[in-house]
Amino acid sequence: VVLLQGVVVFCKGWWCFCKGWWCFCMAVSADFGNFGISATNDAVQTAQQNLITRALESDAVSSRIMARGVERELDSWQQELSDVAASPRLLDLLLSAAERDWAGRDALVEHLEAARLQATGNRARSGRNPDASWFVVDIDGYQRWRGPLNADTLDKRWAHRDYFHGEGREFPRDELPATLAPIQQPHLSLAFQSRATEHAIVAFSVPIRNDDGRVIAILAGTRELGSVLSAPYAEYKPRIG
């Protein structure tokens, strides 16, 4: 009996030992499992953060490239219009047409149309989109020439437009401030809806000055918004030939 009791005690002890070892192993296994899960989660989060960081960095680089491209395009646009506006021949033609109350302006139209077509050709050869239109408004804001011609806008007053006064807003056509004056420096206008095409466009306007430096008219070109923003990509577009 004593021997039997001893065997029972030994078995119980062995069973408790085995049970304890099993619990220890399970605990260790669980710890390693939790560590593995945690490490995996950390790795996933780090990878996601790296991808986000790289995407943001790529966006920043792309934004800088695009901004520089748009800036170059606007500088080129301004120079193109300023060169035409500074022409002594244009000044003579404008003064002559104004003296005749704009009754005879064929020579003015011919001169400006030739300049516009030349600019259009230059842009086409470099793979860039042409301006939607060019136009001249006088010191009171009346349009005296437009290319291509649009009878609905010619000789109408557009002094309420930002491209005329450069004040960063558009006034109601019948509520113009008494102090309203034409721009004195090159100006990129607010976006507006073209009455001729009904598209959203922007205008770049430059003053035309007489020999005394006084502004006597404004020359402006218009482009659709998409054309301005897509201009930088023309630099990277492959050319055939």
**C-alpha span between 47 and 55 (Å, rounded):** 12
- Do residues 208 and 153 make contact, with C-beta atoms less than 8 angstroms apart? no
10 Å CB burial of residue 125 (0-12, 13-18, 19+) is exposed
The predicted pLDDT at position 10 comes to 43
Q: What is the pLDDT of residue 196?
A: 73
DSSP code at position 209: E
- Going from the C-alpha of 131 to that of each of 3, 8, 73, 190, 239, the distances in angstroms are 110, 103, 12, 16, 21
Q: Is 92 helix (H, G, I), strand (E, B) or coil?
A: helix
- pLDDT score for 137: 98
Dihedrals phi, psi of 221, to nearest 5 degrees: -120, 150
DSSP helix/strand/coil, 2: helix
Secondary structure (3-state) at 240: coil
3-state SS, residue 106: helix
Burial class (CB within 10 angstroms; exposed 0-12, middle 13-18, buried 19+) of 16: exposed
Low-confidence ranges of the chain (pLDDT < 50): 1-37, 39, 236, 238-241
Please give the pLDDT value at position 28: 42
What's the pLDDT at 237?
Answer: 52
- C-alpha distances (whole Å) from 152 to each of 143, 145, 148, 160, 164 are 10, 12, 12, 17, 18
Q: Would the pTM count as exceeding 0.85?
A: no
Residue 230 in tokens:
């897509």
Q: Give the length of the chain.
A: 241
* DSSP conformation class of 235: G
**CB 202 within 8 Å of CB 222:** yes
Distance CA 44, CA 213 (A): 67
147 in helix, strand or coil? strand
